[in-house]
């Protein structure tokens, strides 16, 4: 590809002009409206519909809403098929019609994370909101609504407050007097901020959490691409474990009164080098924070979900790897790939969005997956591994013992897209339209974080403007094809 085109795509198209902001804003509005509908459905009708049905309803909404807008734009649609993940599930739960795993049954007290996203001409808005399923209280019988308490409540609080704090911190870039309140906004400080809040609420940051710059078509939709000029803070599984073990080693050395000079954590070195970026006005960011309750020392590991009957890895979504070119041999595979070329972009997708007959699409899938043209995005569950088990594993590499010691923990997640325009921080998704669920935590926020949150909305300080859900134009519903 020519240098001119790549410069145009990466630099010129990412300048926040009014037309670009309009597209972001519209994507945000559609996302917010869909999220509002789904939250309402989940909270009031979780007994009527299964998780899979609610996901598919959301997908149809997004499909129709994006079809109706920007008729001239070719690349628009669903950036994140609607995912509804309860408790310990952390990724990829968007079941197809007819799948065995339909997302599990929702029960009162469950944490439910609803994720979805929309892109218009590559400008992406994604959102994740955590809700708590509960009984609708019968007020006539004198019942009052009870807040959720305990470690899941801590996770909900921590993830909500951490994402709000990070957005408040990012918004400081748009301050009329930049750097006056908090100084230069850097990646290192973002990491410090999030980890401080996690420590205050005695929860662990779930690997996969990130605060990253998003660009046109590059919204962190999946981790297939290794991005050049990447700006972002990312919590990785191995890294977090390494840090935990490194802390143990340091403690051991101190106990033996040895010098700790030579002991260096490679992961921390990597963080220092990679995450020392500066956030600037004119950029867009995705703040995606996941927290899990962790009663003791240890780390969170992500495991592929094998289904309730242990039948095998459950995969609902796929991503395309464009760096792979391979001449497919099987007719069905070639047909599926040409359908993919026509219907999908760089975002994750469900097979039913490509071919209405999913069984037919799966015919050609094997060869495509075998040659990594498509990369599966499996359903994952978060499990807490105690530090003792991790330490044992580092000594004898017995993975099975470690995995048996692990325990599934509920995860809370909050994700928002923000635009840092020159005069204000435009929050595309989340925000005041979606208040946090009714929970009580025993812990309190550190004072400096509270001060940071107070900075936003101050008379002379940075402002955060929310994109609110509203009426969106809808294309007419597609008529269901008759199956023979």
**122 touching other proteins, by CB under 8 A:** yes
Nearer CB in complex with other proteins: 89/119: 119
Candidates 399, 362, 359; CA nearest to 383 is 399
Task: Identify residues 335-364 at the interface with other proteins (CB under 8 A).
Answer: 345-347
Least separation in angstroms between CB 408 and other proteins:
34
Nearer CB in complex with other proteins: 8/401: 8
CA 158 to chain centre: 15
Judge contact between 187 and 429, C-beta under 8 A: no
Site string for other proteins, 159-198 (x = CB under 8 A): ----------------------------------------
For residue 148 the two structure tokens come to 């959720």
Nearest-angstrom CA–CA distance, 276 and 184: 11
Give the residue, chosen from 229, 273, 309, 447, that forms a contact with other proteins under the rule CB under 8 A.
229
* C-alpha pair distances (Å), 384 with each of 131, 194, 236, 365, 401: 21, 19, 14, 33, 13
Q: What sign has the CA pseudo-torsion 474, 39, 95, 383?
A: positive
Site string for other proteins, 286-325 (x = CB under 8 A): ------------------------------------xx--
Residues 6+ apart with CB under 8 A from 161: 197, 201, 445, 449, 453
**225 touching other proteins, by CB under 8 A:** yes
**455 touching other proteins, by CB under 8 A:** no
* C-alpha pair distances (Å), 208 with each of 211, 291, 299, 407: 10, 10, 13, 18
**226 touching other proteins, by CB under 8 A:** yes
**10 touching other proteins, by CB under 8 A:** yes
Give the residue, chosen from 6, 19, 177, 451, that forms a contact with other proteins under the rule CB under 8 A.
6
For residue 204 the two structure tokens come to 């662990």
For 68, other C-beta atoms within 10 Å of its C-beta total 14
Residues 6+ apart with CB under 8 A from 236: 207, 267
Task: Determine the longest span between alpha carbons in the chain, in angstroms.
Answer: 77
Nearer CB in complex with other proteins: 80/174: 80
Give the residue, chosen from 218, 279, 365, 462, that forms a contact with other proteins under the rule CB under 8 A.
218
Least separation in angstroms between CB 237 and other proteins:
21
**4 touching other proteins, by CB under 8 A:** no
Least separation in angstroms between CB 327 and other proteins:
13
Parallel, antiparallel, or unpaired: how do β-strands 298-304 and 349-350 relate? unpaired
* C-alpha pair distances (Å), 212 with each of 199, 273, 275, 305, 360: 22, 16, 10, 26, 37
Nearer CB in complex with other proteins: 44/323: 323
Nearest-angstrom CA–CA distance, 67 and 84: 23
Nearest-angstrom CA–CA distance, 305 and 301: 12
Give the residue, chosen from 29, 191, 216, 427, that forms a contact with other proteins under the rule CB under 8 A.
216
**71 touching other proteins, by CB under 8 A:** no
Task: Identify residues 13-52 at the interface with other proteins (CB under 8 A).
Answer: 13
Candidates 216, 171, 270, 228; CA nearest to 79 is 216
Least separation in angstroms between CB 400 and other proteins:
33
Nearest-angstrom CA–CA distance, 37 and 42: 9
**74 touching other proteins, by CB under 8 A:** yes
Stretch touching other proteins by CB under 8 A, among 108-116, 225-233, 308-316, 448-456: 225-233
Size of the site for other proteins (CB under 8 A): 24
Nearest-angstrom CA–CA distance, 473 and 36: 16
Give the residue, chosen from 61, 89, 123, 217, that forms a contact with other proteins under the rule CB under 8 A.
217
* C-alpha pair distances (Å), 225 with each of 82, 288, 321, 327, 423: 22, 18, 7, 21, 32
Stretch touching other proteins by CB under 8 A, among 4-12, 266-274, 364-372, 413-421: 4-12
Task: Identify residues 406-445 at the interface with other proteins (CB under 8 A).
Answer: none
**375 touching other proteins, by CB under 8 A:** no
Nearer CB in complex with other proteins: 335/362: 335
For 98, other C-beta atoms within 10 Å of its C-beta total 10
For residue 471 the two structure tokens come to 């009426």
Which residues lie across from 204 on neighbouring strands? 292
Residues 6+ apart with CB under 8 A from 139: none
Least separation in angstroms between CB 227 and other proteins:
5
**145 touching other proteins, by CB under 8 A:** no
**244 touching other proteins, by CB under 8 A:** no
Give the residue, chosen from 53, 60, 75, 403, that forms a contact with other proteins under the rule CB under 8 A.
75
Least separation in angstroms between CB 226 and other proteins:
5
Stretch touching other proteins by CB under 8 A, among 103-111, 226-234, 329-337, 419-427: 226-234
Give the residue, chosen from 145, 192, 227, 404, that forms a contact with other proteins under the rule CB under 8 A.
227
Question: Which residues of this chain interact with other proteins, rule CB under 8 A?
Answer: 1, 5-6, 9-10, 13, 74-75, 121-122, 215-218, 225-229, 322-323, 345-347
């Amino acid at each position: 590809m020519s240098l001119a085109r790549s410069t145009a795509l990466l630099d010129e198209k990412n300048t926040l002009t009014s037309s670009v902001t309009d597209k972001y804003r519209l994507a945000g509005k559609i996302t917010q409206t869909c999220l509002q509908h789904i939250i309402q459905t989940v909270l009031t009708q979780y007994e009527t519909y299964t998780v899979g049905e609610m996901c598919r309803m959301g997908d149809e909404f997004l499909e129709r809403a994006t079809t109706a807008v920007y008729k001239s734009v070719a690349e628009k649609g669903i950036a994140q098929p609607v995912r509804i993940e309860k408790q310990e599930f952390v990724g990829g739960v968007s079941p197809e019609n007819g799948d065995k795993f339909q997302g599990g049954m929702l029960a009162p007290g469950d944490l439910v994370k609803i994720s979805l996203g929309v892109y218009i001409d590559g400008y992406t808005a994604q959102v994740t909101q955590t809700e708590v399923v509960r009984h609708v209280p019968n007020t006539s019988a004198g019942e009052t609504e009870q807040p959720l308490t305990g470690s899941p409540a801590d996770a909900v609080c921590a993830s909500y407050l951490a994402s709000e704090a990070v957005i408040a911190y990012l918004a400081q870039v748009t301050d009329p007097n930049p750097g006056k309140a908090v100084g230069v906004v850097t990646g290192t400080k973002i990491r410090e901020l999030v980890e401080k809040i996690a420590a205050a609420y005695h929860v662990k940051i779930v690997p996969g959490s990130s605060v990253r710059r998003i660009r046109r078509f590059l919204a962190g939709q999946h981790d297939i691409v290794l991005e050049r000029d990447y700006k972002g803070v990312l919590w990785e599984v191995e890294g977090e474990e390494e840090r935990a073990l490194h802390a143990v080693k340091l403690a051991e050395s101190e106990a033996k009164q040895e010098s700790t000079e030579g002991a260096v954590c490679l992961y921390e070195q990597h963080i220092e080098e990679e995450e020392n970026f500066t956030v600037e006005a004119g950029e867009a960011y995705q703040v995606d924070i996941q927290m899990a309750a962790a009663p003791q020392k240890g780390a969170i590991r992500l495991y592929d979900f094998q289904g309730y009957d242990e039948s095998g890895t459950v995969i609902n979504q796929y991503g395309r790897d464009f760096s792979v070119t391979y001449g497919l041999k099987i007719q069905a595979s070639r047909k599926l790939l040409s359908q993919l070329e026509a219907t999908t972009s760089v975002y994750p997708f469900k097979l039913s969005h490509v071919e209405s007959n999913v069984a037919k699409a799966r015919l050609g899938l094997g060869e495509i997956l075998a040659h990594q043209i498509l990369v599966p995005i499996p359903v994952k569950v978060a499990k807490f591994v105690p530090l003792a088990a991790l330490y044992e594993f580092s000594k004898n590499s017995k993975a099975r013992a470690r995995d048996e010691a692990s325990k599934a923990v509920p995860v809370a997640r909050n994700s928002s897209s923000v635009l840092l325009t020159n005069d204000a921080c435009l929050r595309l998704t989340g925000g005041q339209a979606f208040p946090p669920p009714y929970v009580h935590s025993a812990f309190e926020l550190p004072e400096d974080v509270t001060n940071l949150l107070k900075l936003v909305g101050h008379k002379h300080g940075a402002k955060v403007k929310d994109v609110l859900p509203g009426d969106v134009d809808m294309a007419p519903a597609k008529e269901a094809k008759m199956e023979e």
